[in-house]
Structure 1
Amino acid sequence: MTSSPSLFASARVGGLELPNRLVMAPMTRTRAGADGVPGPLMGTYYAQRAGAGLIVAEATTPSAVGRTYPHIPGIHSDAQVAGWRTVTEAVGAAGGRMVLQLQHGGRVGHPATSGHIPLAPSAVALPGTIMTPDGHLPTVEPRAMTAADIRATVADFAAAARNAVAAGFHGVEVHSANGYLLHQFLAQNTNRRTDGYGGPVAARIRFTVEVVAAVVEAIGADRVGVRLSPGWRAEGIEEGDTEAIYPPLVAELARLEPAWLHLVQADPDQPLFGGIRRAWPGTLIANPASSHRMIPADGGLASATRLLTAGADLVSLGRLFLINPDLVERLRTGAPVSQALRGDRLLYVRGAEGYTDYPALAATSR
């Protein structure tokens, strides 16, 4: 048995050469404008974290109807493309590499935010309330997508991928995870369709495969990744048959040859992780399984190394990159890793506080 690579060894993903195997995971931060246009503060935030081997930028909507929450960025207008270009230029100037995650909210949305009734596989509302520009409001029942809606949404993803490349991103990650639209097609409790997109597993995975195929055709397989979250229950999702969904989905995706697969809450002790690793011929990015609010004392080093040993090629970390803009250098040198997240209330607000004001180690040691 060969030893696993170091987290600090170089790697290749598609056409990208990465200086290390630590990925900054996408994290919603709601700092775009009301129109979904990224501003200069977002460029500062991501450039501060350019030491990551790869940055996967926050989930970004490919269409107005796919918008989830206020101040989420989009990539479907000229102004949004121009705004993102200033971000990618800032990251590039800092020596970083960056891809954009494409996310359609599906039923996770509200007319007060998007101006549209949400679209979803079936007319099954998200439980509870949702944040809107008018505060938390009761969710609305989404409209079940027609065949024409499905075709239009697939085309929206392809157009968004082309826009992302035009904005200077090195590629895109298709979000088929965490309870949003593509994941809603996979799950039994949100997909009650009786056509070719619902019912048996082969039909429920079809939409994700079609979206990825369209994105691959639009910008090339070496620029495309896919995010999956087997067993994830956020946003009211109940897959119902997790063990049955993912092996055929991964097999179908592998035929399209995207550059990477990104597994959320990956647990090497679970048989499904090993099965996906064996079935996936390309680069596997794994995000460690942990409590959502747990910030490891060792900066995630042990769990990240364990995932590499289990077969992951790269490891993505979220809040640790938020709190430590120079996380890779801290881990590489054995320097202290900050765990001081200054309140969840600062995650989804406007402005620099709790966003660009986390200091690098050099600043804290002066």
Structure 2
Amino acid sequence: MSVSTMSEARTPLFEPYGLGGLELPNRIVMPPMTRSRASQPGDVPNALMAEYYAQRASAGLIVSEGTWISPLGKGYAWTPGIHTPEQVAGWRQVTSAVHAAGGRIFAQLWHVGRLSHISLLDGHAPVSSSAIQAQGVNVFIAERDGTPSFVQASQPRALSVEDIHAIVDDFRQAARNAMAAGFDGVELHAANGYLVNQFIDSEANDRTDEYGGALDNRLRFLGEVAQALVEGTGSKDRVGIRLAPLTTLNGCVDADPETTYTAAAKRLGEIGVGYIHIAEADWDDAPHMPTAFKQRLREVYRGTLIYAGKYTVERANAALREGWADLIAFGRPFVANPDLPERLRKGAALNPHDRDTLFGGGAPGLTDYPALAAKAA
């Protein structure tokens, strides 16, 4: 081994990491990415999805695409659930394939809240913290003839306190279902404008009861769901939470995100969840997340911190060396590069992804991207 190769091998991104009882071979995470390939009817995970995830098993950790926990939690066509026995069995096929390929995989548990459409919910209105419509936000549906289209999210109804408690129970059961399906743990989707985020962010929550108003109240639902996931998995180490402090995606905005999300991280640290996964805004004119903010999160939360958002190998290694990140997630590069860790280690060129095949369809754009060895052959 040359001196340069030895130096490269010692960079933090390619070092192993202990996450609870899991030994990760590197610090590269494949984050959740909706691909809309579940089998119909029933939104059941399938063999094609199993192949897709198994191809990417060299990631230190895979987090599955968002998987809805109950019928009212669904917000996009052809996305998988983890609610029915058939869905659990389908996910078992996926986890078995990933484990056989040497990988580790968490299920991302998802309730979209107001970001849905009545056509996806058997005519029912979506639910949210408040009866505030996500104006100008489109969701992905299938027309009657099966063609995909995007439509304005429907007007939601506000959840009652009794409804909220029932959804907490749904999350608990979903965590149990995930463990029965063979997942190594679960990640709560509390980011990107979905239901939990609709309680956290001040501009999406106009409640006047114990789930609205003061910051402590707006964080109550997050805390209750996190605790339910600990109970459902049977282990704090096997629970992660995804947050997006600065994104305004899907219409969720907070008046003071640094204060809000520092408090959220502190609460999650008190519960003792295994990791927090921070989604930084990744569009071209997105707000920058200052390093000082990241350091504040590290101060109040001592568990594992994952960051995602247009990271390069150089930026990832700098974040790991500076200590405010433990793992780095690479989203879109994993779409077209099943062997992404090897490519990053070697500095090899990355396959570009085909935007037209991101959502829906079959194997093209999902499992047919070549690995380095295949390209060389």
- Compare 79-88 and 14-23 and name the one that shifted more: 14-23
Alignment CA distance shift 1:113-1:268 (3 Å):
closer
Query: For 2:189 and 2:170, how far apart are their aligned partners in 1?
Result: 14
In structure 1, distance between residues paired with 2:198 and 2:116: 13
Q: Following the alignment from structure 1 to structure 2, what is the Cα–Cα distance between the partners of residues 339 and 360?
A: 9
Cα deviation digits, residues 147-203 of structure 1 (max 9, x gap): 111000000001000000000000000111111000011112210100011111111
Give, as a single letter, the amino acid of the residue that structure 1 aligns with 2:340.
L
> What per-residue deviation string (whole Å, max 9, x for no partner) do you get for residues 290-317 of structure 1?
4xxxxx7xxx211211221232111111
Give the letter aligned to residue 61 of structure 1.
W
Pairwise mapping of residues 200-239 of structure 1 onto structure 2 (< 5 A)? 200-219=214-233, 220-239=235-254
Alignment partner of 1:126 is 2:134: yes
| % identical aligned pairs | 46
The alpha-carbon deviation at position 320 of structure 1 amounts to: 0.9
* Structure 2 counterpart of 1:82: 89
Q: 2:18 aligns with which of 9, 12, 19?
A: 12
- What letter matches 2:181 in structure 1? A
**Alignment correspondent of 1:313:** 326
CA distance in 2, matches of 1:139, 1:277: 36
Distance between the aligned counterparts of 2:32 and 2:275, measured in 1? 15
How many angstroms apart in 1 are the aligned matches of 2:176 and 2:99? 19
How many Å separate the matches in 2 of 1:147 and 1:337? Answer: 52
Amino acid of the structure 2 residue aligned with 1:14: G
Give 1:236 shift.
1.0
* SS at structure 2 position matched to 1:189: helix
Note closer, same or farther for the CA distance 1:315–1:138 as it changes in structure 2 (3 Å cut).
Answer: closer
Counterparts of 1:287-302 in structure 2, within 5 Å, are: 287-288=308-309, 290=310, 300-302=312-314
1:197 to 198, 205, 211: 211
Question: Secondary structure, in 3 states, of the residue corresponding to 2:52?
Answer: helix
Residue in structure 2 matched with residue 285 of structure 1 by the alignment: 306
- Return 249-258 or 159-168, whichever deviates more: 249-258
| CA distance in structure 2 between the aligned counterparts of 1:314 and 1:238, rounded to whole angstroms | 26
Which residue number corresponds to residue 157 of structure 1?
Answer: 171
Unmatched runs of 5 consecutive residues or more in structure 2: 1-9, 144-148, 282-287
Match of 1:303, SS state, is helix
Q: CA deviation at 1:106?
A: 0.4
1:355 to 366, 370, 375: 366
Alignment of structure 1 residues 236-275 onto 2, 5 Å? 236-265=251-280, 269-275=290-296
**RMSD of aligned Cα (Å):** 1.5
**Quick one: structure 1 residues 199 and 230, their matched pair in 2 at CA, closer, same or farther if it must change by over 3 Å?**
same
The residue type equivalent to 1:122 in the other structure is: S
Q: Distance in 2 between matches of 1:353 and 1:53?
A: 25
Could you say which residue in structure 2 is the equivalent of 1:73?
80
Q: Tell me if 1:179 matches 2:200.
A: no
1:241 is aligned with what amino acid? Answer: D
- TM-score, normalised on structure 1? 0.93
1:216 partner amino acid: V
321-330 vs 150-159, which deviates more? 321-330
Q: Is the 8 A contact 1:268 1:307 kept in 2?
A: no
Runs of 4+ with >4 A deviation: none
Compute the displacement of 1:89 (Å): 0.6
Which digits, 9 at most, give the CA deviation of each residue in 1:66-91, with x for residues without a partner?
00100111001100000000000111
Residues 300-351 of structure 1: CA deviation (Å, up to 9, x unaligned): 21121122123211111101111110011122233x2314122x22100210
Q: Report what 1:25 is aligned to.
A: 31
Show the counterpart of 1:293.
none
Cα drift, residue 5 of structure 1: 6.1
The answer as to whether partners of 2:75 and 2:139 remain within 8 angstroms in 1 is no
Question: Residue 139 in 1 paired to residue 153 in 2?
Answer: yes
Q: Contact 1:268–1:310 (CA<8 Å) still a contact in 2?
A: no
1:167 aligns with 2:181: yes
Deviation at 1:252, TM superposition (A): 1.1
Q: Given that residues 115 and 154 in structure 2 are in contact (C-alpha distance below 8 angstroms), is that contact kept between their aligned partners in structure 1?
A: no
Equivalences, count: 352
Q: Deviations over 1:74-113 (max 9, x none)?
A: 0011000000000001111111100011110000111211
Q: Which residue of 1 aligns with 2:349?
A: 337
Q: 2 CA distance for matches of 1:225 and 1:175? A: 9
C-alpha deviation, 1:119, in angstroms: 0.7
TM-score (norm 2): 0.90
